Structure 1
C-alpha cells in the first residue's frame, strides 16, 4: 500500500485536493539500483568481517599458554583472554539490530570493523595481561556486532535460489570459522608468534572498513529511535548475559555455587533475566523482540540454533582437550588432527546447494542433525591411542552435519520474517547459538571433572593387593626403573606414580566417551523434532508495507 493512500491521522487537517500528497519517507531498503554482481561482492565483503570475528573466538584457544608466557601471566589470568571476548560478544549480538536501525547497517558494520581492527592491533601490542583482557573485550564487542548484520543483509539482497545459496554460505562460515580457529591459531603461533593471531586481522579489517560504506546501501539511519529506547532493558540484558557468561565460563573451575562470586553472578543473572524479559514484553521499543517467539518456526529455529551451538562449540572444546590431555599433542598437532572437520564441511557446500533448491529444507535439517548424532556416536568408542586417523570418520560426519544442519535453519527461521522484524530477530537467533556454545562447554567441563573422578574411584577400587594383574604391572615398571639405577624404594614409588597416571588417563578417556554419548542423545531428540517446523516459502521481495 502506498503512502499516498494512507488515511489522515486524527487531529491532522485534511490537505486540499489540489495539494500533492507529502513525499514518502525514504525506503528502508533501497537496493534496486545494485546489480547482482555488486550485491554478491558486498555480501562477500561482509562475510569476511563475520568470518574473522567468529574465527577470533577460538583462534587463541590453542595458544593461551604462549600468550600467558609472553605476558608473564598465570593460568587463571590467561583464561580471561578468551572469556572477556565471549562476554562482550554475547552482550552486543542482541543489541546489533537496534543499533543498525539507528546508524544504518553499512555504517554500523564499517564502524565495528574499524574498531575491531584497532582492537586487534592493540591486542597484538598488549604490554601486560590486564591490557590484553581489556583489548580482547573491546575486540569481542565490536566483532560481535558484525555477525547478525550479515544475516539481515543476505535476506535483503537475495531472493529465491540466491537466498538459499547465501544462507548456505552463512551457515558454512558460522560453523567453519570456530572449527578452524584452533588450527589456524596453532599454526600461526608455532611458525611466527602469538602476536600474529591479532595482526592478521589488520588488512581485511581495513578493507572492510572502507568497502562496506561504498557497497552496502540497504537502509537509512533513524536517530529518532534514540528517544524512548528501552535503556533500562539494555542494562538488564547486559547484566543478565554478562553474568551468565561469567558463571558458565568460571563455574566449572570454581565448584559452581560453592564459590561466593559464582553464586553472586548467578543470582544477578537470574534476577536481571526476569527484569529483561518483563521489559521486552511490555516496552513499546524493546531492544530484543521476544514476541517473535510466538512464531513456531522462529521459536523452534532458536532452539535448534542453541543445539547447533552445543554441537559446534562443545566438540571444538572436547576434541583438542582430549588430544592435549590424553595424547599430549602440541598446538599444531591438535590443529592438524581436527582440520578434517573443516575440509569435509567445505566439500559438502556444493552438495547442500544442489539439494537445497530441490528438497524440503526440513529434511535437509534432519539429515544434518542425524549426521551430528552419528558423529557423536562414532566418537563414543574413543580410546587413549586415538589420533587423526581414528578421528577422521566422526569428524567427517560432523563437518557434513554442520553444513546440512546450520544452513537450512537460517532459512527456515529467518526466511519467513518480515524485513522490519528481521534485524531484531536475527540478533536473538545468533544469541541462541552462542548461548548454546557457552552452556555446552560449561556442561562438558563439569562432566569432565565429575565423571573423571567417578571413573577413577571405580577403577581404583579394583587396584589392590588382591589384583594379580596390577601386581605384575607394578613389578614390571619397578624392574624397569631399577635398571636405570634407582633403589628399591624409589622404583616402587615411581611405579605407583605411573600406575596412577595410567589410571587417570583411562578415567579421562571413559569420561570423554560418556560426554559424546550424552551429546548424541540430545541430537537424536532434536533430529526427530525438526518436522514440527513449517515449510516456508520465502517472500519474493520486500513490499512497500514492510518499509
Structure 2
C-alpha cells in the first residue's frame, strides 16, 4: 500500500527539496503560500456557519418562508458539515490533500452561487446542505497540514494562526453578515464567497503538494459505515437543534430521529471497530492527550458557538437591536481574539500549556460570571468586559489545546485525528445550543410563573404600577387601560427573559471552572518531539 503521508522527520514536505526554507517558519515559500491559501479556504467554510445568523429575517422575507422553515437555512449547513468533517480524513488519504481541498473549494464556491440564486426555501435548504457538506472537507485538512508540514519548533507561530481562524470566523460571522445584508442584500452573504473561492482553488491546485494519494483505499470503502455515520451524526444534529423548540421526546418527529440516532450510532461504532478499512479510525483516542483534548475542544465549541448565539439573542429579544447593531456589538470579541493571538503564541513557547488552559478556562468562567449580573438595561459598554474576557480566553485556550491534542500524535494519524478533533468542536456547539435553549425555555417559564404571582390582582405595587401606566396611556390613546395591561405583561416577560439569561451564564460559569481544573490531568508533550502514541 502506498503511504498517504510523505512528510520527512522534521515535518517538512520533500516535494521541493531544492527550494530554500524560510528560517522563521521552517518551510519553503511555495509551501507557505499553499498553506495560507488553505487557511483562507477554511476561514470561508467556518464563516458561513454563522454569516446568516443575523440576517435570517431578510432571507425569510426574500424567500417567503415561514418562521418554522427559516432556521433550516443554518441547520441544514451544520448537519451536512458535521457528516463531512470526520469523513475528510479518509478522503484526504485516498485523494491527497491537494485534490480534496481543490475539489472542496470549487464545490463550495458553486454551492454558494446556487444559494444566492435560490427562489424558494426548499432550494435554499438543499443548496445550504450541499455547501456545508462540501465546505466541511476544507476544515480538518488545515489542522492536519499545520501539524505535519511545519517543524514542532514553529508551532508557536502556526497554532495561533489556525486557532484564530477557527474561532474568529464564527465570532465575526454575524458582524459580516449584518453589514452585507444591510449594505447590499442577503444574496451577498453567499456571493461574497465567489471571488475568494476561485482564488483559493487555483492557489491550492498549483501550490499544494504535501502528500500523495492512496487510491487503494476506495477498493475497501465501507459504504455501510458511511451510511451509519451520516445517519448517526445527521439525526443527532437534528435532535439537538430542534429538540429545545419542540419539547424533546414529547414530539413524535424528535423521538423518531432520536431512535434513528441510537441505531445509527450503534452501527457506526460496530463498523468502526470491525471493518477492515473503517470510515473513521478511532484509535487516536488511545492517546490520552488527544482524548482529553477532544473533550476540551467539545467545551470550546460550547463557549464559541453557544455564546456567539446567546449574546445576539439577548440583544435582539431584550434590547431590540437590528442585525447591523448586533454585529457591531459582537465585533469586540473578534478584536480581542485578534490582539491576543500573538500573545498566546508566545506564551505557548514559554509556559506549560496546561497552565495556559487553566488560565483560559478561568477567564471564560470569569466572563460568564460577570455576565450573570445582566439586566434589561445592559448595552454595549456593560457587555464590553465579558466579551473581551471571552475573546482573550478563546485564544489562550485554543492554542495549547491544539498543541496538546494533535502535537503528540504520529503523522500517519493526523488526517483522521484532525477530522475527529474538529468534529468534537462542532458537536460541542450543537450540544451547547441545545442546552442553552432548553435552560432558557425552562427558566423563562419558571420566572414567568413567579413574576405572575408578584403582579397578581391584590398586590398593591402591581395595582399602583398598572394604574400609573393606565393614566399615562389614557392621555395618548382611547383604550389606555387595556394598553397598560399589555405593557405590564411585556415588562414581566422581558424581566423573565433576562433572569433566564442570567441562569444560563451561571451554568456556563460552573462548566468552564470545572474544565479549568481538568486541564491539570493532561500530559505535557516533550519539547519539540512528537510522541509516537501512548
Task: Give TM-score scaled by structure 1 length.
Answer: 0.92
Residues 362-381 of structure 1 mapped to structure 2, 5 A cutoff: 362-381=354-373
| Residue 468 (structure 1) aligns with | 460
| Residue 479 (structure 1) aligns with | 471
| Residue 524 (structure 2) aligns with | 535
| Residue 29 (structure 1) aligns with | 7
| Residue 165 (structure 1) aligns with | 157
Paired with 2:528 and 2:347, the residues of 1 have a C-alpha distance of: 20
Contact 1:167 / 1:407 at 8 angstroms: preserved in 2?
Answer: yes
Match of 1:520 among 505, 509, 513: 509
| Residue 434 (structure 1) aligns with | 426
Could you give the per-residue CA deviations for residues 62-110 of structure 1, whole angstroms, max 9, x where no partner exists? 1011001011111111111101100000000000000011110011000
Pairs aligned (count): 519
- CA drift of 1:512 comes to 0.3
Could you give the per-residue CA deviations for residues 443-483 of structure 1, whole angstroms, max 9, x where no partner exists? 11111111101001001111123322211211111011110
| Residue 12 (structure 1) aligns with | none
Residues 356-367 of structure 1 mapped to structure 2, 5 A cutoff: 356-367=348-359
5+ long unaligned stretches in structure 1: 4-23
Paired with 2:277 and 2:7, the residues of 1 have a C-alpha distance of: 21
| Residue 201 (structure 1) aligns with | 193
Residues 16-165 of structure 1 mapped to structure 2, 5 A cutoff: 28-29=6-7, 31-32=13-14, 33=16, 35=21, 36=27, 37-165=29-157
Could you give the per-residue CA deviations for residues 338-381 of structure 1, whole angstroms, max 9, x where no partner exists? 11000011011121122111111111111111111111111100
Residues 207-226 of structure 1 mapped to structure 2, 5 A cutoff: 207-226=199-218
| Residue 499 (structure 1) aligns with | 488
Match of 1:233 among 213, 225, 234: 225
Paired with 1:136 and 1:383, the residues of 2 have a C-alpha distance of: 36
Distance of aligned partners of 1:418 and 1:136 in 2 relative to their CA distance in 1, 3 Å threshold: same
Paired with 1:135 and 1:170, the residues of 2 have a C-alpha distance of: 27
Task: Give TM-score scaled by structure 2 length.
Answer: 0.95
Paired with 1:28 and 1:223, the residues of 2 have a C-alpha distance of: 15
Residues 411-422 of structure 1 mapped to structure 2, 5 A cutoff: 411-422=403-414
Contact 1:164 / 1:411 at 8 angstroms: preserved in 2?
Answer: no
Paired with 1:480 and 1:328, the residues of 2 have a C-alpha distance of: 23
Contact 2:375 / 2:498 at 8 angstroms: preserved in 1?
Answer: yes
| Residue 312 (structure 1) aligns with | 304
Contact 1:156 / 1:218 at 8 angstroms: preserved in 2?
Answer: no
Contact 2:348 / 2:399 at 8 angstroms: preserved in 1?
Answer: no
SS for the counterpart of 2:408 is coil
Could you give the per-residue CA deviations for residues 3-44 of structure 1, whole angstroms, max 9, x where no partner exists? 9xxxxxxxxxxxxxxxxxxxx979623713253332322211
Structure 1 runs (4+) deviating above 4 angstroms are 24-27, 538-543
Paired with 1:411 and 1:26, the residues of 2 have a C-alpha distance of: 22
Q: Does 1:509 align with 2:493?
A: no
- CA drift of 1:286 comes to 1.7
Could you give the per-residue CA deviations for residues 473-506 of structure 1, whole angstroms, max 9, x where no partner exists? 11111011110141xxx32211111111000000
5+ long unaligned stretches in structure 2: 22-26
Q: Say which one has the larger Rg.
A: 1
Paired with 2:328 and 2:160, the residues of 1 have a C-alpha distance of: 25
- CA drift of 1:49 comes to 0.4
